[in-house]
Structure 1
Amino acid sequence: MAPPDDLRGDAPLLDAYLTHLDAGRTPFTIPGHKGRADWLDAGLARALAGDVPLFGGLDDVKQTAGTLADAEARAARLWGAEWCRFSTGGATHANQALCLALGTPGDRVVVARTAHRSTFVGLALAGLEPVWVAPRIDPRSGVPLGLEAADVAGAMAATPGARAVLAVEPGYLGTVSDVAALAGVAHDHDVPLVVDQAWGAHLGFHARVPRHALALGADAMVTSAHKAWPAYSQGALALARTERLDAARLEAGFEAGNTTSPAGAVLAGLDGARALFAARGEELLGALLGRLDDLRDRLTAAVPDLRVLGPADFPAGRFDPAKLVVLLPPTGADGVLVERDLVAAGVPVEMADRDTLVAMATVADDDETLARLEAALVAAVRRHAGPPRAPVPALSWQVRPQVELSPREAFFAAWQALPWRDAAGRVSAELVAPYPPGVPVLAPGELVTHEILEGLRAARASGTRVAYAADPTLETLRVVR
C-alpha cells in the first residue's frame, strides 16, 4: 500500500515542486534541458528527471509566491530560531556562511578540533584565527567524547576578545558534548555558541535522542537534511537566534556563497523532510530506535566479543542512539577488510577504519534492510576475526596542532611541493584529512611533524582514503615557501 501523500499542506516548496511537475509547462528559462531530455538521450534524461529550478519552477524569478521564505519561516518556528535559510550547498556552505558572520579578519574564535573541513575553509575565507580545543578521548574505546566545558572555559580565558565558540555536535561517532554547559561558557563571555549539527537533523524529535543545539542554548546551528532525514543530497539548514548574532551579517554571509540557481528538487526534499519530522518525527524515530536496540542485542549475541556502543556507555544525553557504532578491537577484525566485504555484499557503510565501523541507519530503514546489514556484518567480522587488540584512537582525534600562520595567511601563501620526508618542520599549505570523517589532521598554517606524516601514511597504507591533499599518494606535500 502506498504511503499517504499528506505533507503538501505544510511544505510549500514540496507542494510547488509537485504542482510544477504536473503542470505540463513549456518553459523558455533555464535549465537548458527544459524537462525534455528524453528525446535527446535516455540515460541523460534519467539523470535529469525531476530537476526543477527554484526560479521559474517553484516560484517565478521575482519570487512572487514567496514559497522559499514561507518554508524557511516554518523551519525557524520548528526549531525556535529567528533566522533560517535553506542551503543547496550542504552544511559546507552553511558552516562557511556562519563563519563569515562572526567577526572581522584577525579576530580569534575558539573551535573544536573535530571541526569539519568546511569550517577550516570558512575560517580562511573570513580571516578568523582559530584557538583549538581538542576533545577528550574515552580510554576504553578510543572514541572522542566531545568538548569539556572546563577546556573551553580555559581557552576563552586565555583568548581575550575571542568572538565565538564553534563546536561539532554530535560528533562523527555519535558522542555529544554537554552543549548547555558550552553555551553557558560562551555566554559568560557574551559571545555566541555556533554548533555544526550536520549529523543531527533528528535531534530533539524524540525523548530518547539528545535535544537539538538551539534548545540547549546555542545561538546558531547548521544541520544536514540529507544525513539523518530522507532528503536530497546537499540539502542543509542554517538557523540562528539574533541576540548575539547580527541578522544582516548572517544574511550577507549566507548569500556570499549561495548559488543564484538553487535546485528546486533539493529545496522541495528538504522542506518535505522537515514537514515529515514535524508531523511524525517522534513516531518514526521511536520505531527506528527500537529496531536498533534489537539489532545491537542480536549483533553482540552473534559475535560476543563485538562491542556496539549505546547510550548506556555515556552520561545521559551524551550519545545519539540512532548512530550504530561498532568497535572491532575485541574481535581482532580489521575494519577496512570488514568494510570491503560489506561493499562486496551490497551493504556499504558510512565509515570504517581499522578499529571502528559506523553504519548510518535512518527512518527510511526497516526490518529487512537492518537484517541485511546484520547478516553481512556478522559474516564479515567472523571471517576476519583474530587475536584481540587494544583500541587506538584514530589519527583525526589525536592531533594537537602547532599553529604557525593563520589559515588565511597560509591559504594564500606561496607554496612548494616537497618530498614527504623533507616536509617535516615546515608549515603546511594544504589541508589533509582521512575521509571519513573528514576531520583535518593537517590544515594550512600548521607545523608538519614526523608523527603526523607517519600517521597519515600509515592510515593510507591501511586502506583509509586520505582526502584533499594535492598529491593523494602523499609522496609530496605542499608547504609554505
Structure 2
Amino acid sequence: MPTDPRGLRGDAPLLDAWLRFHEQPPAPFTIPGHKHRTDLVGDVIAGDVPLYGGLDTVKLTGGVLADAEARAAVLWGADVCRFSVGGSTHANQALALAIGSEGDRVLVGRTLHRSVLLGLVLAGLEPVWLRPDLDAATGLPLGVSPAAVEDGFRRAPDAVAVLVGDPAYVGTVGDVAGLADVAHRHGRPLVVDAAWAAHFGFHPALPQHALALGADALVTSAHKTLPAWSQAAYLLARTDRIDPARLEAAVEATHTTSPAGAILASADAARALLARDGVELLGALVDRVARARATLSDIPGLVVLDGPHVDPAKLTLVLGGTGADGVRVERDLIAEGLPVEMADRDTIVALVTVADDDVSVGRLGDALAAALERHRGEPRPVVPAAAWNVDPIVVTTPRTAFFAQHESVPIEAAIGRTCAELVAPYPPGVPVLAPGEQVTAAAVEALRTAHRHGTRVAYAADASLATLRVLRSDRGRAPEPAQRHTASSVEEA
C-alpha cells in the first residue's frame, strides 16, 4: 500500500481518495482498460487511477475535486481555482477563450509560450504584441514594462485584456503590480502566465505571486517547481473582471473528459505541502541556490543571474565571457546524468526545486565548473537569443493564417510571404515566427543561427528549416507598406 506522504492525509482530499483507492482496490468495470494489472504492460501503469470511477464515483458524488480546488483558491487568494491535467498549456488556452470574443484585440507579451498563441487561434483573438525590455549586459528579457502596456492601449484602446508571462523562462521578474495598475486603469483584466512560479508568495525571500500583486488570473504549473506529476497545473482567477461562468465553460471545453486522478491527486498534495511546509522547504531551497550561485560566480567570465529582479530559486548562467558553448556543456552534463532545463550557445538554465538537496546541487555545480573549463574559449559578446529579440510584422490574424490554404516553399523564397505555421526555438518555446506574420530575413537568419548552434527548432513542419509553410493567397505578392509596422496588431495592417 502506498505510504502517506509527509503526513498530508486529511489535508488533501484528492490525495486521500487516491490512497483509499489503493487500500481498498475495487474490481472496476470502468476505464482505464488496464484494470491496474501490471502483469500486462508492466509498472508503467502503476498508480494510474482515474478521477471518474476512481478518486470519485462516475457521478462525482464525493466532491473531492471541488474540495481540493476550493482549498487551492483559498491558499492563493483566488475566487476560482481549476486543476489541469494538461499543464499550463491547457490553462492558458482556456483563459484565451474566457477573456474575449472572436475579433477582439488583446495586448500580449511576446515572451509568452506558444500555448498562448494557439489559444489566440482557438478564440479568434487578435494580438497587439508587446516587446519585453532586454538587459544590455546579458541579452535576457526583463519583462514587459507598464509603459509598454500603456503604449499598447494607445495603439489598441479597445483591447479587452492584457496577457503577459512573468517570471520569464530564465527567471527574471517584472513589475506585475505596475502592469495590473495600468490594465485596471483601462478597466481590463491582467492575465499572468507564471508557469515557472508556483513557489512565489510562499516565503519572504521570494517575490509575491501575481494575484497578490493585483493580477486577475494566474496560470502556474504544479509540476515545474512543486513536486507534482508532469502535466499538473493550476488556473486561479478573481472574478471582478473575468466572468466565472465563461471561464468554467472554457475550462470544460478544452480539457479531457478522462482526467488522470494521479495527476490531480499530486496537484492537491503539492498544494497541501506548500500550505503546511512551504516556508521551511522554500527557505532551504533559496539558501541552496544562493550557495550554488556564490560558488559558480567565482568562475572567470561566467555571469550568474542574481539580484532583486531574479527568482531566488532559479539558476541561470550566461556563458559568453567564458567562450564556452552551452550546447557542448549540456552534452557533458547529460553524460554525467545531470540534464538541465535549457541550454543554448550562450545560456544555461538549471531548475532547482524543493526535491533537490545539497548533494545533488553540489554535483551539478562541480560538473558545470569542470565542463565550462573543458570548453573554455575566446570570450564573445552577448547576442540576444531569437526568442527574446523578435520584432513581428503582423499581416493577418493568427486564426486566419492557421486555417488558410498554405504551401511549403524554400525558406529563402518564404521571405516577404505570410507565415502559416509557428516556429520556435525550444526551450523556451517562444515563437520567432507565428501564423499570420511576415517572414523576414532577420527571422530566418535568427532561426538558422539557433539551429546551427545546436538549439532544437520546434513545431515547424520542416525541422531542418529547408522549407517553410506560407499562405498561398500571397503568392507572388510583394509586402504592402502597411505590413511594415512592427510589434503591432492587424488594425495597423
Shared fold, TM over 0.5: yes
1:345 pairs with 299, 320, 336, which one? 336
1:23-422 alignment, distance < 5 Å: 23-38=24-39, 40=40, 44-301=41-298, 303-311=299-307, 316=308, 318-422=309-413
Aligned to 1:13: 14
Partner AA of 1:10 in structure 2: D
**Structure 2 length as normaliser, TM-score?**
0.94
Q: Which residue type is aligned with residue 17 of structure 1?
A: W
1:44-94 C-alpha deviation (Å, 9 max, x unpaired): 221101100001110001111100000000000001111110000110000
Q: Residue type of the partner of 1:310?
A: D
| Deviation for aligned residue 1:37 | 3.3
Question: What is the CA-CA distance between 1:3 and the residue it aligns to?
Answer: 9.1
CA spacing shift, 1:32–1:195, aligned 2, 3 Å = same
Q: Please give the secondary structure, in 2, of the residue aligned with 1:216.
A: coil
Q: 1:4 to 1:238 in 2, by over 3 A?
A: closer
1:420-439 CA-to-partner distances (Å, cap 9, x unmatched) read: 11000000000000000000
Matched AA of 1:183 = A
- Give the counterpart letter for 1:439 in structure 2: V
Distance 2:126 2:324 in 1: 41
Between the aligned partners of 1:63 and 1:392, the Cα distance in structure 2 is: 53
In 2, Cα distance between equivalents of 1:399 and 1:149: 20
Structure 1 SS opposite 2:139: coil
User: 1 CA distance for matches of 2:244 and 2:5?
Assistant: 38
CA distance in 1, matches of 2:114, 2:465: 18
Using the TM superposition, give the Cα deviation of residue 336 of structure 1 relative to its aligned residue in structure 2, in angstroms. 0.8
Contact 2:166 2:193 in 1 (8 A): yes
- Could you tell me how far 1:384 is from its partner in structure 2? 0.4
Report the counterpart of residue 461 of structure 2 in structure 1. Answer: 470
CA distance in structure 2 between the aligned counterparts of 1:217 and 1:109, rounded to whole angstroms:
18
Whole-angstrom CA distance in 1 between matches of 2:149 and 2:157: 13
Query: Could you say if the C-alpha distance between residues 251 and 386 of structure 1 is closer, same or farther in structure 2, counting changes exceeding 3 Å?
Result: same
Q: Do the aligned partners of 2:421 and 2:434 also contact (CA within 8 Å) in 1?
A: yes
Q: In the TM superposition, what is the alpha-carbon distance from 1:358 to its structure 2 partner? A: 0.2
**Equivalents in 1 of 2:297, 2:143: separation in Å?**
26
Contact 2:107–2:159, Cα closer than 8 Å, also in 1:
yes
Taking only aligned residues, the RMSD between alpha carbons, in angstroms, comes to 1.0
CA contact (8 A) 2:4 2:19 kept: no
Q: C-alpha displacement at 1:4, in angstroms?
A: 6.1
Distance 2:278 2:154 in 1: 40
- 1:190 match: secondary structure: coil
Deviation at 1:371, TM superposition (A): 1.2
Q: Aligned partners of 2:207, 2:172: CA distance in 1, in Å? A: 10
Distance (Å, rounded) in 1 between the aligned partners of 2:147 and 2:185: 13
Counterpart residue identity of residue 388, structure 1: P
Distance 1:31 1:3, change over 3 A: closer
Say which SS state the counterpart of residue 8 (structure 1) adopts.
Answer: coil
Cα distance in structure 2, aligned partners of 1:478 and 1:306 = 39
Task: Indicate the residue corresponding to 1:444 in structure 2.
Answer: 435
Cα separation, 2, equivalents of 1:191 and 1:305: 44
What is the CA-CA distance between 1:455 and the residue it aligns to? 1.3
| Letter of the structure 1 residue corresponding to residue 450 of structure 2 | A
1:376 deviates by 1.0
Q: Secondary structure at the match of 1:261?
A: coil
Letter in 2 for 1:24: P
One-letter code aligned to 1:19: R
Deviation at 1:296, TM superposition (A): 1.2
Q: Tell me: CA distance 1:116–1:4, structure 2 relative to 1, closer, same or farther (3 Å).
A: closer
Deviations, residues 265-319 of structure 1 (Å, cap 9, x unaligned): 0000000000000001111010011111111111223x232221112xxxx4x22
Matched AA of 1:469: A
Aligned to 1:466, the other structure's residue is in SS state strand
Q: Look up the equivalent residue of 1:22 and give its one-letter code.
A: E
Q: In structure 2, which of residues 398, 403, 419 is the aligned counterpart of residue 428 of structure 1? A: 419
Quote how far apart the aligned CAs of 1:468 are. Answer: 0.2
* Aligned AA (2:8): L
Q: Which range is displaced more, 87-96 or 452-461?
A: 452-461
Q: For residues 266 and 260 of structure 1, what CA distance do their matches in structure 2 show?
A: 14
Which sections of structure 1, spanning at least 5 residues, go unmatched? Answer: none
Q: In the aligned structure 2, how far is the partner of 1:367 from the partner of 1:135?
A: 35
Q: Which runs of 4+ in 1 moved over 6 A?
A: none
Residue 450 of structure 2: which of 445, 450, 459 is its match?
459
C-alpha distance in structure 1 between counterparts of 2:5 and 2:355, whole Å: 15
Amino acid at match of 2:321: P
**Which secondary structure does the structure 1 equivalent of 2:7 belong to?**
coil
Structure 1 CA distance for aligned equivalents of residues 77 and 418 of structure 2? 43
User: How far 1:5 moved relative to its partner?
Assistant: 3.3
Spell out, residue by residue over 1:229-275, the C-alpha distance to the aligned partner (whole angstroms, 9 max, x if none).
Answer: 00100000101000001000000111111111000000000000000
SS in 2 for 1:5: helix
For 2:385, give the aligned amino acid. A
Q: What's the TM-score once normalised by structure 1's chain length? A: 0.96
User: Unmatched 5+ residue regions in structure 2?
Assistant: 473-493
> Once the 2 structures are TM-superposed, how far is the Cα of residue 152 of structure 1 from its aligned partner?
0.7
- How far apart in 1 are the matches of 2:219 and 2:145? 21
- Percent identity of equivalent pairs: 62
Whole-angstrom distance in 1 between the partners of 2:400 and 2:301: 49
**Residues 7-28 of structure 1, C-alpha deviations (whole Å, 9 max, x = no match):** 1211000010011011131111
